[in-house]
Amino acid sequence: MNPCEIAVLTTGSELLNGDLSDTNTAAIARILNRHGYRIRYSLSVADNEQDIGTALNYLCRQVQVVIVTGGLGSTGDDRTARAAAKLLGRPLAINDEALQMIRDYYSRCGRSPEAITERQALLPQKAIPLPNTRGTAPGFWVQQQQRNLFFMPGVPHEMLAMLEQAVLPILRRTVPGGLPAVQRHYRLFGLSEPKVEQLIPYRELPDGVEVAFGIDYPCVLLKLRSSGDAAEQRLDETELLLRQVMGEYIVGREGETLAGQVGRQLTDHGLTLALAESCTGGLIASLLTSWPGASAFLERAAVTYADSAKLDWLKIAPEILHRYGAVSEPCALAMARGVRQAADTDLALAVTGIAGPDGGSRDKPVGTVFLALAAEDTEQVRRYQFSGDRNQVQVMSAHMALEWLRRYLIGRQESVRTIPAGTNN
């Protein structure tokens, strides 16, 4: 039995009836991995004394450390302490230290606990209570027959605070962790997941580097992991190899989004931006302004759904709408020019298209989108045909527009026309 291997038991009927997916296990894993522990089993059962007992018993036979979340509240549904008491042969009793924690929590909130809340101090005998800084129910730690059992609340933010503040220090003292895993995350835009996988030079990668994938539509997330002394060096080597084959598609690292990167680039370059959005309905502006500091570069954005808005704010010539329609190359270009002139910015981006589900025609089916970029040194416009539902077309259009900006800002001279079109994965 490897002492660094841990089992997680999550309890709650909402985890088994389709209401909720268990996210506690992954959150616990991310924190424990950094300290050299590894989750080997993750089990979910309902708030049912018998099932919790059976599960605890099973897990204690597999590993030396079991972390339990959920079922510590004061309602009738909370049966974890009772199941633990039974399994351990240590009857429940009011734990004075736990009771004080509950009273302290209430006094910090300026209230007094009700009798029912104080039931949360009923712990198995000789359990060590763990303070809950974010809620009322204390956790607890039990040692028995070389097993360490930690019980925490199920509410994620309460659980995570208790894990970091109370469980991890005890765990590191009691069961030293192994070599921590180091991770690196990359966000790619413009390649599908199978395509990314195909490009990875698996045979050339250093030994001991794990590669994993995720999707944050329309981006692919690439995750590298390695552990041990030379982990950083192995990841450096791997990153170098990856940059050679897919470097231009990497639009963010360690959680940075494409919009975040574009915002940072604009700020670094000291350039200003205006937007004219039709089918994306404000999504590009919203993505850019979700990052602090957007006021440094974003002058304004127009969501011009009606033609009158295009005529009025963007000064589109009525002939353009009349002759080519609002979803057209000339209109997209005129929108970009118009908003750039109105806002007097360095750059302007415009999007017009048919997000669906209605409004498509034979010539311009749903998913037809025109992007335009206007700057002092260039004016560009291009037609795309995206697939997917309304939301996917909007999200893809917004990301493609941001990718135009990113590539323009990298190259300045380089044409955005070099972006491949087949990126709608």
For a second copy, the binding residues in 164-203 under the rule CB under 8 A are 181
Pairing of strands 65-69, 147-152: parallel
Least distance (Å) from a second copy to the CB of residue 183?
A: 8
Q: Does 305 bind a second copy (CB under 8 A)?
A: yes
Among 55, 83, 161, 373, binds a second copy (CB under 8 A): 55
Q: Does 328 bind a second copy (CB under 8 A)?
A: no
Give residue 261's identity as a one-letter amino acid code: Q
Go through 258-285 and write b for each residue having 16 or more CB atoms within 10 A of its CB, e for each that does not. Answer: bbbbbbbbbeeeebbbbbbbbbbbbbbb
Return the number of the residue (95 or 346) whose C-beta is nearest a second copy.
346
Tokens of 110: 């300026």
Among 357, 411, 412, 421, binds a second copy (CB under 8 A): 357
Return the number of the residue (54 or 192) whose C-beta is nearest a second copy.
54
Residues of span 248-267 touching a second copy by CB under 8 A = none
Give the integer Cα–Cα distance in Å for 310 and 312: 6
Return the number of the residue (327 or 419) whose C-beta is nearest a second copy.
327
Return the number of the residue (108 or 413) whose C-beta is nearest a second copy.
108
Among 124, 138, 190, 356, binds a second copy (CB under 8 A): 356
Segment contacting a second copy (CB under 8 A): 12-20, 85-93, 329-337, 378-386?
A: 12-20
Q: Does 277 bind a second copy (CB under 8 A)?
A: yes
Measured between alpha carbons, how far is residue 89 from residues 77, 81, 85, 125, 197 in Å? Answer: 21, 12, 6, 9, 52
Among 174, 361, 391, 415, binds a second copy (CB under 8 A): 391
Q: How far is CA 106 from the centre of its chain?
A: 33
Give the integer Cα–Cα distance in Å for 316 and 209: 54
Least distance (Å) from a second copy to the CB of residue 128?
A: 27
Give residue 294's identity as a one-letter amino acid code: A
Q: Does 18 bind a second copy (CB under 8 A)?
A: yes
Return the number of the residue (164 or 414) whose C-beta is nearest a second copy.
164
Q: Does 315 bind a second copy (CB under 8 A)?
A: no
DSSP assignments along 135-190, one per residue: SS--EEEEEETTEEEEEE-SSHHHHHHHIIIIIHHHHHHHS---SPEEEEEEEE-S
Residues of span 56-95 touching a second copy by CB under 8 A = 58, 62
Segment contacting a second copy (CB under 8 A): 89-97, 113-121, 281-289, 377-385?
A: 281-289
Give the integer Cα–Cα distance in Å for 76 and 309: 58
Segment contacting a second copy (CB under 8 A): 121-129, 244-252, 304-312, 407-415?
A: 304-312
3-state DSSP call for residue 50?
helix
Give the integer Cα–Cα distance in Å for 395 and 280: 8
The beta-strand segments (E) located in 12-94 are: 38-45, 65-69, 92-94
CB 269 within 8 A of CB 262: no
Least distance (Å) from a second copy to the CB of residue 130?
A: 22
Give the integer Cα–Cα distance in Å for 302 and 316: 13
Among 123, 160, 166, 298, binds a second copy (CB under 8 A): 298
Report how many residues bind a second copy under the rule CB under 8 A: 76
Q: Does 128 bind a second copy (CB under 8 A)?
A: no
Among 112, 145, 308, 418, binds a second copy (CB under 8 A): 308
Q: Does 40 bind a second copy (CB under 8 A)?
A: yes
Segment contacting a second copy (CB under 8 A): 85-93, 206-214, 316-324, 403-411?
A: 206-214
